[in-house]
Amino acid sequence: MTRLIALLALVLASLSVAMPARAADDISAVSRSVVRVVTVAMVDGEVVGFGHGSGIAITPTRILTNAHVVESAAKYPQNVALGIVPSEGQKSYAGKLIAIDTTRDLALVEMTEGRVPAAAIYTGPLESGADVVALGYPGNVDLATARSAADYITPRTPVRSEGNMSNRQSVDGVAMLVHTAKISRGNSGGPLVDQCGRIVGINTAITRADDGDSPFAFAISVPEVGRFLSDSRQEYRSVGTSCLTMAEAAARDRALTDAEARAEAAATAQKEAKAELERELKLQRANDAALSARENRIAIAGVLFVLGALGAGAGLLFYNQQKLRNAKIAGGGGGALILIAAILFLTRPDAHADLSDLAGEADEPPAAGTETPEVAAGDFLCTIEPERSRITVSSTDDVPVDLAKGGCVNDRTQYTRGADGRWQRILVPNEEATVTIASIDPEAREYRVERYLLDAETMAKAREIRAASDIKGCTANAQALAAFTTQQDAVKAVLPPTPNERLVYRCQQVARR
């Protein structure tokens, strides 16, 4: 068996092919997860049988396919070798059977080396009439294009066929989707996907089309696939959100952003109206208080004036009676009261409040502990907003973001600040065929992740640019940051106009750890 696998690997590794043309749509992206699964039967070192079907990567090294595609390898492990032929690149690889379920017609194969972009399984509702796409390697296309056996094990872009989901049927106790996407022998084990490129079924059979009957296709449903993978203890990515185009997601995002802006403006206007009403009430109360103080001062001055006049009159009376001492006391007291009354009258308060006093109240500093928090940097916990996002293949768990003022995120990744005020980093991994643009706006408390699912050629260009000027960890060196910003712009220039996925998170500032 070891000799058989080595021979197959040698044949596969010796083949090469030009890379496929770049495409950025979701179906092209998931096409890179589709593989051809081949079986080679050998006796005494000679090939005596050859079979092939399709498969889809659910992890970078594990392929989901039909049981009947690899059943010969399960029955005759010493004589039948498995091969995995990716949809792009220059190599094909040997495979190893991990699990098989002939009742559900599903199998799991592991690539002994190499990696393939993994697809996600759609677990949400799929309505009758929904648009679907079958991907794989139909045998009738192979017959028309293949010139030799080597063409069957040469990396090649899978064929896509569009149709609609008709209904659900149970076939021999297995839940199936009936659909109208055209498939033929060779499509077995290949995926049926929605418009966002998520797996909605595994193609397994077609109806006969005798006497003009229209053919229909059957795909094993996601619940059956999920149970098989669970029984095989195989983890996989799943997404349950509905499929939106990027334009639809962007329109929803704009609508929600506009609604939030209108709500904020209305709240601000309401707050200002409330503040104006409070100011008017304060002014009214102040005017009432000022008028009351003025009237009280005038009344007191009037009473003192009357008392003073009476005192002065009494002094005059005592003077006429030759009681000089009493006249002085009464006259002096009366004069003093009249003087005090005059002073009180002349210094009476204005009938209107002093507006500067009210302005001083409005400009009072906030109480301790109520200051606006610093948001240029800080610890954030960011939660996905599905209604503003386009989610196709990614997890939507909460994301902690610890942003330092210099753009260092989570103490290990350097971001650069753009003209729009957002801190941004373009991430180009070594193995995954995905470029990610992550950005955070600390003022708006928003974190965004945009993912581009790319072909091998574009990924190679992005990695070459990244290698020219990459920053490991964080730095405050201005020259290094300037070079890094230039490099990030160069990576962005090779990306498609729009991403395949956009995740929008709302962030809440939390206490520093």
Provide DSSP, 168-193.
EEEETTEEEEEE-S---TT-TT-EEE
How far is Cα 445 from Cα 248, in angstroms, rounded to an integer?
A: 23
Residue 388 class from Cβ within 10 Å (0-12 exposed, 13-18 middle, 19+ buried)? buried
pLDDT at 5 over 60: no
Provide DSSP, 421-470.
S-EEEEE--SSSSEEEEEEEETTTTEEEEEEEE--HHHHHHHHHHHHHS-
pLDDT (mean) for 123-142: 92
**Residue 209 confidence (pLDDT):** 64
For residue 278, what are the CA distances in angstroms to 268, 270, 286, 364? 15, 12, 12, 15
Query: 149: pLDDT confidence band, cut at 50, 70 and 90?
Result: low
Q: Enumerate the domain spans of the chain.
A: 2-241, 248-362, 378-510
Closest CA to 448 of 411, 484, 394: 394
Residue 428 class from Cβ within 10 Å (0-12 exposed, 13-18 middle, 19+ buried)? buried
Average confidence score pLDDT of the chain: 84
Query: 21: pLDDT confidence band, cut at 50, 70 and 90?
Result: very low
Estimate the crossing angle of helix 478-493 against helix 456-468, to 10 degrees: 170
Residues pairing with 81 in the sheet:
40
Yes or no: say if 403 and 412 are a contact pair by the CB < 8 Å rule.
no
CA angle 5, 34, 231 (to 5 degrees): 75
Better-predicted residue by pLDDT, 458 or 19: 458
Helix locations, 321-395, DSSP H = 324-346, 355-362
How far is Cα 295 from Cα 86, in angstroms, rounded to an integer?
A: 96
**Residue 470 confidence (pLDDT):** 67
**Residue 373 confidence (pLDDT):** 39
**Residue 100 confidence (pLDDT):** 97
Q: Is the pTM of this model over 0.95?
A: no
CATH architecture of 2-241: Beta Barrel (2.40)
Tens digits of per-residue pLDDT, 226-245?
999 999 999 999 999 888 87
Query: 23: pLDDT confidence band, cut at 50, 70 and 90?
Result: very low
**Residue 97 confidence (pLDDT):** 96
pLDDT at 375 over 80: no
Looking up tokens 């400009």 gives: 363
| Torsion angles phi and psi, residue 302, rounded to 5 | -65, -45
| Torsion angles phi and psi, residue 81, rounded to 5 | -105, 150
How far is Cα 159 from Cα 27, in angstroms, rounded to an integer?
A: 11
Yes or no: say if 165 and 128 are a contact pair by the CB < 8 Å rule.
yes
